[in-house]
Amino acid sequence: MLTAEQNDLLTQVTPGTPMGNLMRRYWQPIAAASEMDHVWTRRVRLLGEDLVLFKDRQNRLGLIKEQCPHRRVSFAHGIPTQNGIRCPYHGWEFNAKGKCLEQPNEPDNPAFREKVTTDAYPVQEMGGMLFAYLGPLPAPLLPKFDGFVEPGTIRMMGRSVLPVNWLQVMENSLDPVHTEWLHGHHYEFLQEQQGIKVAISAHHEKIDFKEFEFGITKHRLLTGQSEDSDDWRTGHPIIFPNILAVGNGNGDEAARYYSFQMRVPVDNETTMHLWYNAYVPPKNGEVPAHLLNTVHVYDVPFKDEKGEFIVDNVDGQDMMAWISQGTIANRATENLGSSDKGVAMYRRVLKREMKKVEQGEDPMGVLRDPQRDHRIDLPNEKKKHHNSDGFASFLLRTHAKYSQVAPDIVMLFDPDRVQFDAQGKVQLRTMKPATASMY
Ligand code: FES
Ligand SMILES: [Fe+2]
């Protein structure tokens, strides 16, 4: 249980707040690079700041405050230039560093021009994703986490903009037991109402959490598993502060994939949830070029046309749980039990790291040493419990089913599970799940 003040301290991310300061020490994903292919500007709202991502005529990206410092018109309607962007209203030109380059219709006055700067933030690309850094300069390194830099992968990114604070989404990742119920018994109950009997829930014998350089690993021992299992021994990480990396692959090196859930605080009451999956193609498989040369972007819905939550898949179930806690979960009325020890630990680590930032230190996982600017292999299960009933079966029970390239990916990894429709288009065969999945 937290007081209202403690809840505010942990949830508020707007400029000047302690959590906002902590979040600003990390590069945050804002879009897939492919989303800038056919546009010149894109609105970005991040940590309560309204920004515009733009491309100049040399195809270089910039991220500046949305409102023009002259008389506040939006740069989302700006005109790209060789070295920056012009405001559509009176043509004042700015570069990606926020410097004013030109003020047409004004007498040439370098002092005035220099005074009129705008907020600007660095942007970097990694793995076909764009990341922004809103903190104090110099910016730290953008850590090269394994799945973003693995060469030759098939990459896709699902997106959902959720009407909730980011913290309750992250707390779910420190809560292994929910999978037994939300993705297990609750799903069984839904099936029961359709007259289908399934038993997919797996009981947690014990859970554990450990800190490592870049965050916290989460471990579970399920009934029937040995203490040697990957789920217990290795677990999978919460990359501090707001990314979950899920277990990858089914034990077969030829069918590995990397999977990240990135919970980007748009503001105190909105979270942009990004699922980034990178599939390593089987060694001898022929991969069509169109699958490889871009990040495939798709929307992940959480409500159906009647306005009800979509709970027929794991991620829909999670979104129902996050959103139904309220816009900002009222932690003054919660009652934590012993199975919430991961949640309690995460809150302690957040407070500790906020304090470091206040004291002028770098928080957990911030990298500056150029010697360490190389691939970082995260601890992660290889033989993951949730893959035990097959690649396609699991894929169909997640956000990935909404991806336009899902049938192509199943075709590569689990070809028996695809069929062709009358037009010869690849389709997925639906299946009944055999086990609950485990995020
Ligand atoms: S409002 Fe932007 S140039 Fe005038
Ligand atoms: Fe979940």
First vs last C-alpha separation in the chain? 24
* Number of other residues whose CB lies within 10 A of the CB of residue 59: 8
Report CA dihedral (376, 381, 382, 386) to the nearest 10 degrees. Answer: -140
- C-alpha to C-alpha distances, 419 to 181, 359, 403, 432, nearest whole angstrom: 32, 59, 17, 16
CA distances from 262 to 237, 328, 333, 351, 418 (A): 12, 18, 27, 20, 29
Token pair 């389709």 is found at 427
Answer yes or no: is pLDDT of 254 > 60.
Answer: no
Atom of ligand 1 nearest to the CA of 71: 1
Confidence of residue 69 (pLDDT cuts 50, 70, 90): very high
Structure tokens at 438: 């485990």
CA of 439, nearest ligand number: 2
Interval between CA 414 and ligand 2 midpoint (Å): 24
Q: Give the number of other CB atoms < 10 A from CB of residue 415.
A: 11
Mean pLDDT, rounded, for 184-202: 92
Strand partners, 51: 44, 65
pLDDT at 437 (0 to 100): 45
Band of the pLDDT at 251, cuts 50, 70, 90? Answer: low
Structure tokens at 348: 């302690």
Which residues are near ligand 2, the ion (C-beta closer than 5 Å)?
318, 439
Q: How much is the pLDDT for 252?
A: 60
Q: Is the pLDDT of residue 57 over 90?
A: yes
Nearest CA to ligand 1 atom 1: 71
For residue 91, which atom of ligand 1 is closest to its CA? Answer: 3
Cα 23 from chain centre: 14
What mean pLDDT comes out for the span 9-24? Answer: 98
Centre of ligand 1 from the C-alpha of residue 412, in Å: 52
Counting from 1 in the atom list of ligand 1, the atom nearest the Cα of 87 is 2
Evaluate: CB of 77 within 6 angstroms of ligand 1: no
Atom of ligand 1 at shortest range from CA of 69: 2
**68 ligand 1 Cβ < 6 A:** yes
Asked whether residue 436 carries a pLDDT value surpassing 90, the answer given is: no
Which two structure tokens, joined as six digits, stand for 270?
A: 């909105």
User: What local confidence, expressed as pLDDT, does residue 413 receive?
Assistant: 84
From the number of C-beta atoms within 10 Å of its C-beta (0-12, 13-18, 19+), residue 224 rates as exposed
- DSSP annotation of 339 reads G
* CA 64 – CA 43 distance, rounded (Å): 10
Ligand nearest to the CA of 89: 1
Is the model's pLDDT at 432 over the cut of 60? no
Ligand 2 centroid – CA 428 distance (Å): 23
- For residue 424, pLDDT over 80 is answered with no
pLDDT confidence tier of residue 198, bands split at 50, 70 and 90 = confident
Which of 54, 87, 116, 117 for mutating ligand 1's site (highest number of atoms within 8 Å of CB)?
Answer: 87
Distance CA 439, CA 397 (A): 12
For ligand 1, is residue 87 a contact (CB within 6 Å)?
Answer: yes
Mean pLDDT of the chain: 93
Mutate to test the pocket of ligand 1, among 66, 68, 74, 117 (most ligand atoms within 8 A of CB): 68
Domain 28-132 fold is Rieske Iron-sulfur Protein (2.102.10)
Q: Is 185 in the pocket of ligand 1 (CB under 6 A)?
A: no
Who wins on pLDDT, 286 or 111? Answer: 111
Which-ligand-closest: CA of 386? 2
For the chain, domain boundaries: 28-132, 144-428
Q: Which ligand is nearest to the CA of 438?
A: 2
DSSP for residue 8: H
Please state, in angstroms and rounded to a whole number, the distance separating the CA atoms of residues 270 and 286. Answer: 41
| Domain 144-428, CATH | 3.90.380
Q: For the CA atoms of the chain, what is the radius of gyration?
A: 23
Lowest mean pLDDT among 328-337, 407-416, 425-434: 425-434
Whole-number pLDDT of residue 217: 97
Q: How much distance in Å is there from the Cα of 222 to the middle of ligand 2?
A: 16
Token pair listed for 166 = 């980011």
Q: What spacing in Å lies between the alpha carbon of 71 and ligand 1's midpoint?
A: 5
Q: Is the pLDDT of residue 152 over 60?
A: yes
- Residues in Cβ contact with 182 at an 8 Å cutoff, skipping those fewer than 6 apart: 317, 318, 321
Ligand closest to 178 (CA) is 2
pLDDT digits (tens, 9 = 90+) for 278-319: 999 888 778 989 999 999 999 999 999 999 999 999 999 999
- What residue has token string 């109950």? 189
* Centroid of ligand 1 to alpha carbon of 103 (angstroms): 9
Percentage of the chain modeled with pLDDT above 70: 94
> Is the pLDDT at 246 greater than 90, yes or no?
no
Which ligand gives the minimal distance to the CA of 176?
2
Distance (Å) of CA 39 to CA 30, 59, 88, 132, 153: 15, 11, 16, 18, 25
Cβ count near 310 (within 10 Å): 15
Task: Say if ligand 1 is within 6 A of residue 92 CB.
Answer: yes
The alpha carbon of 42 and the centre of ligand 1 are apart by a number of angstroms equal to 18
Residues 6 or more apart whose Cβ sits within 8 Å of residue 247:
230, 231, 236, 259, 380, 381, 382, 384, 385, 386, 387, 438
Residue 388: pLDDT above 70?
Answer: no
Q: Which atom of ligand 1 is nearest to the CA of 103?
A: 3
